Amino acid sequence: MQKRFEGAPDIKPWLAGAMVFAILAVAGALANPYLISLMTIVLLFTFLGQSWNLMLGIGGQLSIGHALFVALGAYSVAVLDVKYGISPWIGLLLGMFIAGCAGAVLAWLSFRFEVRGIYFALLTIAAAEFARIMFSGWEFVGAMQGLFFPAPTNAIEFAMLRGDARFYYFVALALAALGIVGTELISRSYLGYVWRAMRDDEQAARALGVRTFRHKILVIAISAATAAVGGGILALVQGSIFPDSIMGMGPSVDVLIGPVVGGLGTTFGPLVGSLAAIPLNHLMGALGDSLRIPGLNNIAYGIVLVLVVWFLPDGIWPAMVRLSKAIRPPSRVWLPQPRKAEE
Amino acid sequence: MTALLDVKQLSKSFGGLVAVNNVSFALEAGRITALIGPNGAGKTTCFNLVAGALRPTGGQVFFEGRPIENTPPELVCRMGIARTFQIVRPMRDMSVLENAMVGAFSWTTNVNEARSTAYESLESVGLAGKADARTDQLTLPDRKMLEAAKALSTRPKLLLLDEVMAGLRPTEAAGVVRVLQRLAEAGLTILLVEHVMRIVMEVASRVVVLHHGAKIAEGSPSEVAMDPRVLESYLGAGFHA
Closest-CA residue of chain A to B97:
A7
| Cβ <8 Å between B108 and A212 | no
Describe the crossing of helices A165-188 and A269-290 by its angle, rounded to 10 degrees: 140
Give yes or no: residues B43 and B109 share one domain: no
Please state, in angstroms and as integers, the Cα–Cα distance from residue A80 to each residue in A143, A164, A228, A235, following that order: 16, 21, 14, 12
Q: Average pLDDT in the B152-164 region?
A: 92
Closest-CA residue of chain B to A185:
B111
pLDDT at B238: 58
Q: Average pLDDT in the B218-227 region?
A: 86
Is A311 an 8 Å CB contact of chain B?
Answer: no
Give yes or no: residues B147 and B240 share one domain: no
What sign has the CA pseudo-torsion A22, A26, A31, A36?
Answer: positive
| Bridge partners of residue B162, in order along the sequence | B193
Please state, in angstroms and rounded to a whole number, the distance separating the CA atoms of residues A160 and A189: 34
Residue with the larger pLDDT of the pair B240 and A197: A197
Is A203 an 8 Å CB contact of chain B?
Answer: yes
How large a percentage of chain A has pLDDT more than 90?
45
Mutation target vs A (from B47, B48, B91; most A CBs, 10 A cutoff): B91
Is A194 an 8 Å CB contact of chain B?
Answer: yes
Contacts of B107 (CB under 8 A, 6+ apart): A209, B78, B154, B155
Beta strands in B140-237 (DSSP E): 158-162, 189-194, 206-211, 214-219
Give yes or no: residues B56 and B171 share one domain: yes
Which chain B residues are Cβ-neighbours of A204 within 8 angstroms? 85, 89, 91
| Cβ <8 Å between B93 and A3 | yes
Which chain A residues are Cβ-neighbours of B82 within 8 angstroms? 207-209
Closest CA to B81 of B56, B103, B112: B103
Burial of A52 (0-12, 13-18, 19+ CB in 10 A): buried
pLDDT at A110: 92
Give yes or no: residues B135 and B230 share one domain: no
Please state, in angstroms and as integers, the Cα–Cα distance from residue A177 to each residue in A24, A174, A223, following that order: 11, 5, 16
Starting at the earlier edge strand, list the strands of the sheet with B189-194: B81-83, B158-162, B189-194, B32-36, B206-211, B214-219
Please tell me the distance in Å from A1's CA to the nearest CA on chain B: 7
Closest CA to B197 of B238, B163, B240, B239: B163
Phi-psi map region of A146: left, alpha, beta (phi>0 left; psi -120 to 50 alpha): left
Please tell me the distance in Å from B136's CA to the nearest CA on chain A: 12
CA angle (A316, A322, A326) in 5-degree steps? 140
Between β-strands B158-162 and B81-83, what pairing exists: parallel, antiparallel or unpaired?
A: parallel
Starting at the earlier edge strand, list the strands of the sheet with B5-14: B17-27, B5-14, B58-63, B66-67
CATH number of the domain residue B8 falls in: 3.40.50.300
Q: Average pLDDT in the B159-167 region?
A: 87
Listed residues B128, B155, B182: the one ending a domain: B155
Between β-strands B66-67 and B58-63, what pairing exists: parallel, antiparallel or unpaired?
A: antiparallel
Give yes or no: residues B74 and B182 share one domain: yes
Task: Give residue A232's identity as a one-letter amino acid code.
Answer: G
Q: Average pLDDT in the B15-26 region?
A: 90
Half-sphere exposure of A176 (CA within 13 A, CB side): 31
| Cβ <8 Å between A209 and B133 | no
Give yes or no: residues B74 and B1 share one domain: yes
Closest-CA residue of chain B to A343:
B171
Listed residues B155, B184, B208: the one ending a domain: B155
Is A211 an 8 Å CB contact of chain B?
Answer: yes
Give yes or no: residues B32 and B95 share one domain: no
Domain that holds residue B108: 88-155
Is B67 an 8 Å CB contact of chain A?
Answer: no
Mutation target vs B (from A198, A208, A267, A339; most B CBs, 10 A cutoff): A208
Which chain A residues are Cβ-neighbours of B168 within 8 angstroms? none
pLDDT at A336: 47
pLDDT at B3: 82
Residues with pLDDT less than 50, chain A: 1-8, 331-343
Domain count, chain B: 2
Of A1, A189, A207, the CB nearest to B73: A207
Question: How is chain A split into domains, by residue range?
Answer: 12-248
Rg (CA), chain B: 18
Give yes or no: residues B131 and B184 share one domain: no
Q: pLDDT by residue (tens digit) across B39-85?
A: 888 888 998 999 999 999 999 999 998 999 899 999 999 999 999 98
ipTM: 0.88
Listed residues B155, B179, B199: the one ending a domain: B155
| Cβ <8 Å between B108 and A201 | no
Q: pLDDT by residue (tens digit) across A282-320?
A: 888 888 888 888 878 788 778 878 888 888 888 888 888
| Bridge partners of residue B208, in order along the sequence | B35, B218
Beta strands in A111-238 (DSSP E): 147-148
Mutation target vs A (from B71, B74, B176; most A CBs, 10 A cutoff): B74
